[in-house]
Structure 1
Amino acid sequence: MRDFFMPANTCTQGADSRAARRPPEPYAPPTRPWVLLVALVLVALNLRPALSSLAPLLGQVSADVGLSASAAGLLTTLPVLCLGVFAPLAALLARRLGAERVVLMVLVALGAGIALRTQFGAAGLFIGSLLSGASIGIIGVLLPGIVKRDFPRHAGTLTGVYTMALCLGAALAAGASVPLADALGGSWRFGLGFWMVPALLAALAWWPQAKGGAAARHPHRPVRGLWRAPLAWQVTLYMGLQSSLAYIVFGWLPSMLIARGLSAESAGWVTSGSILVQLPSALAAPWLATRGRDQRLAVVWVMSLTLAGLFGCLYAPLSGLWGWAVVLGLGQGAMFAVALSLIVLRAGDAHVAAALSSMAQGVGYTLAAMGPLAVGLVHDLTGGWQAVGWLFGGIGLAAIACGLGAGRAQVLQVEAGHG
């Protein structure tokens, strides 16, 4: 069992001789690895419900609060924008408090943000969405570094498990929010507010990790040269562009399907089903992507599936809608898993992985936030959904171009310095 958690080689390719001669830092494997793994999965389950629970209820929310399509687009964009804007805070907070303690505190903040969205009208919606997005952005940056550090020999596989949990949380929230709202009193507030409960339960499960003081065991160190590395920017742009398509689906796919004639509940279940299909592809994609020489072919395949599913949901006859939703889900689950895997695979050690995660998610999610906003603006300008297909195609082709660079079998030639 101990061999499963032994650290991988922590020297990056191209590091100078001083870095090579530096003695390795003391490392203690987690004393209860399966407790940590279960806690990681529970945390990951809570990193998407705040985003995907709103879309099926967006029509009710907009009508009740009085939001235009552009304002609704901003509401779906805001938490995604916060994922990027607040991501750089993760490293700063982790250096001061320890990654595990930060995850615990931010889980509590996530629960508070979800609850706030149900109160104080439009102001509560936007402020709660901001707090929720900021919380998810900080946690999302820290978890890949924890996986790389404590499960170094199986980082790819566990990245798939982590991604699968993300997809499951998104699917549950997309499908269950409308039925929960109906069952708990008929108000959209119950459908949105329910998701603070699993966030607080995840905080309880994470509590033993925060008490363990892992920060002292493996302190963060600054990484030099990352922002000047073309490979780091290719990973970052691929993360942002593929995420843009994902958040368009979270934020707008139910509305698109409702406009095509589905009920709000049916549209929510189709979206949920598509996200649920992401589970097997999210788990399998990191393993499959590492079977070949590099990940370039995987990048092309998963983006092609995603675009085919999106175009099918938007333009194909409704009789085949569930088939296209399955194609979309398979593509998007694999697409996101490959993006996370690229962060781990292109980094030589846990410090570089944490820094690259911060860069890729900070810049990437800021870029991704423009996708849902652009869809809302296109809808307002054209009065329909037909024109957004051009937007899908442009984002997808740009993601393939960046992914072909990020998918090369290279390791970032950057150095993790002293803290």
Structure 2
Amino acid sequence: MDTTTHHRSRARSLALGASLALMAFSLRTPVTSVGPILIDAVRATRLSSSGASLLTTLPSLCFGLFGPLAPWAARRLGSERALLALLILLACGTALRVVPSWQSLYAGQIVACFSIGLMNVLLPGVVKRDFPHHVALVTGIYSAAMCAGAAAAAAATVPIANLLAHMPGNSGNAAWSSALAVWALPAAIAAVIWLGQLPPVEPGAQKRASAIGRLLRDPLAWNVTLFMGTQSSLAYIVFGWLPTVLRMRGMSAVDAGFMLSLSVIAQAGASLLLPVLVARLPDQRPVNAGALLLAGASLMGCFFAPLWTMWGCAILLGIAQGAAFTLALTVIGLRSHDSRVAAQLSSMAQGIGYLLASAGPFIAGALLHATGSLSSLAGLCAGICVLSAWFGYAAGRRAHLKLASD
């Protein structure tokens, strides 16, 4: 390869990596923007307690239900053009929440999370194909960008609503919905940039037989899937209910949203550093289990420790959950023989895992509204942490799936 070709290839890789990072930034903003403003949305739309619980359940439920459609979308459009279509749909769904009604809030959240569910599955395949020698690094970058978007939405949604409420022609009752719709902008920008430098489609790359039937009979595949599902369940309980818990403890809406944002910022740091370090370890069992036990301890601090300690609890919780999410993604590759098996395991782990995870936020909301006590919700979270540590330990043992690539 001559110098000019090398520079062009490097420039294309950098542009592609930047586009993936911007795309990843948009993948959690529709989710974490709801938690800090949930109480206001419930009051304005007169949602029932079960309706509020269902709203916080929608992300993981949609990810689980719709994620398995990603291979079909890739076959029909190619991975890159499927991602472009999904980015546009994500922007439209997020913008739909501008209408201050529960119907629009639900419809917008479903459309946005449908798009995210498919993109969750497609992105790891694009990374593995276009960055075969830097999978861990690029995975860390897009995981950190995802966390950055989640943190921005958690911290800025309430201040944006407060700003919009004082603008001429806007009412306080509608400001919360306008603030939710603002997060359509990053997805729209990402779509424009992605359109300008679409990589070529690889013909026939997706037309290979699936090994999902054999994966479903592999205990190690189930350990990986349940590790993904349980840590995701805890994550979406935190996204959906931590600000409400802190507000119930006497914290303001702005401060509660900021604590969630601080936690997600800490997740970004863990996401950047952990993939490269963990890939060098022969056995991930201690770090997998340790991340979930740290998450449980710091979350109990958020429930019961003095409010002046919330900074430390939020940061530790973020480090633990960022580590858990990154480890759940990393073991998919480490337990697979090659990228094709890893892609199929990713589809299983994220499809089934997120579907199982969807029960967590709904049960959390039901417990909170039924008992009015934080103790019941804390018990649920502690139980999920123990289960996830168990499955993480099993998924981290040095072994490969008993499945050879065709």
1:159 maps to which residue?
A: 139
Contact 2:45 2:100 in 1 (8 A): no
State yes or no: 1:296 paired with 2:280: no
Q: How many Å separate the matches in 2 of 1:110 and 1:298?
A: 34
Q: Within 5 Å, which residues of 2 pair with 1:51-90?
A: 51-90=31-70
Residue 235 (structure 2) aligned to one of 231, 246, 270 = 246
More moved, 345-354 vs 86-95: 345-354
2:114 maps to which residue?
A: 134
Change (3 A) 1:220 1:350: farther
State yes or no: 1:339 paired with 2:328: yes
State yes or no: 1:398 paired with 2:387: yes
Aligned residue for 2:146, secondary structure, equals helix
1:319 maps to which residue?
A: 308
1:357 maps to which residue?
A: 346
Aligned residue for 2:67, secondary structure, equals coil
2:208 maps to which residue?
A: 221
Q: For residues 168-227 of structure 1, what are the alpha-carbon distances to aligned partners after superposition, in whole Å with 9 as ceiling and x for unaligned?
A: 1100000000111112234101210000000011111211454x3323274352332222
Q: How many Å separate the matches in 1 of 2:148 and 2:100?
A: 30
More moved, 377-386 vs 132-141: 377-386
1:111 maps to which residue?
A: 91
Q: How many Å separate the matches in 2 of 1:408 and 1:220?
A: 32
Q: How many Å separate the matches in 1 of 2:153 and 2:100?
A: 22
Aligned residue for 2:203, secondary structure, equals helix
1:172 maps to which residue?
A: 152
Post-superposition offset of 1:92: 0.9
Give the superposed CA RMSD.
1.7
Contact 2:99 2:178 in 1 (8 A): no
More moved, 241-250 vs 141-150: 141-150
Change (3 A) 1:370 1:61: same
Q: How many Å separate the matches in 1 of 2:10 and 2:358?
A: 36
Contact 2:97 2:178 in 1 (8 A): no
1:306 maps to which residue?
A: 295
Q: How many Å separate the matches in 1 of 2:273 and 2:19?
A: 21
Gaps of 5+ in 1: 3-28
Q: For residues 275-331 of structure 1, what are the alpha-carbon distances to aligned partners after superposition, in whole Å with 9 as ceiling and x for unaligned?
A: 111111111121222232111111022112211111000011112111111110110
Residue 282 (structure 1) aligned to one of 235, 255, 271 = 271
Q: How many Å separate the matches in 2 of 1:384 and 1:311?
A: 14
Contact 2:88 2:188 in 1 (8 A): yes
Q: How many Å separate the matches in 1 of 2:129 and 2:39?
A: 43
Contact 1:239 1:364 in 2 (8 A): yes
State the number of aligned residues.
390
Contact 1:299 1:404 in 2 (8 A): yes
Q: How many Å separate the matches in 2 of 1:396 and 1:53?
A: 24
Q: How many Å separate the matches in 1 of 2:255 and 2:299?
A: 17
Q: How many Å separate the matches in 2 of 1:139 and 1:292?
A: 29
1:206 maps to which residue?
A: 194
Q: For residues 358-392 of structure 1, what are the alpha-carbon distances to aligned partners after superposition, in whole Å with 9 as ceiling and x for unaligned?
A: 11111111111111101111012211222111111
Post-superposition offset of 1:149: 1.5
Q: How many Å separate the matches in 1 of 2:273 and 2:258?
A: 24
Q: How many Å separate the matches in 2 of 1:138 and 1:95?
A: 13
Contact 1:155 1:344 in 2 (8 A): no
Post-superposition offset of 1:30: 8.8
Aligned residue for 2:134, secondary structure, equals helix
Give TM-score, length-normalised by structure 1: 0.89
Post-superposition offset of 1:69: 2.3
Q: How many Å separate the matches in 2 of 1:216 and 1:112?
A: 29
More moved, 405-414 vs 48-57: 405-414
Change (3 A) 1:350 1:293: closer
Give TM-score, length-normalised by structure 2: 0.92
Residue 14 (structure 2) aligned to one of 34, 40, 51 = 34
Q: How many Å separate the matches in 2 of 1:118 and 1:59?
A: 17
Post-superposition offset of 1:156: 1.6
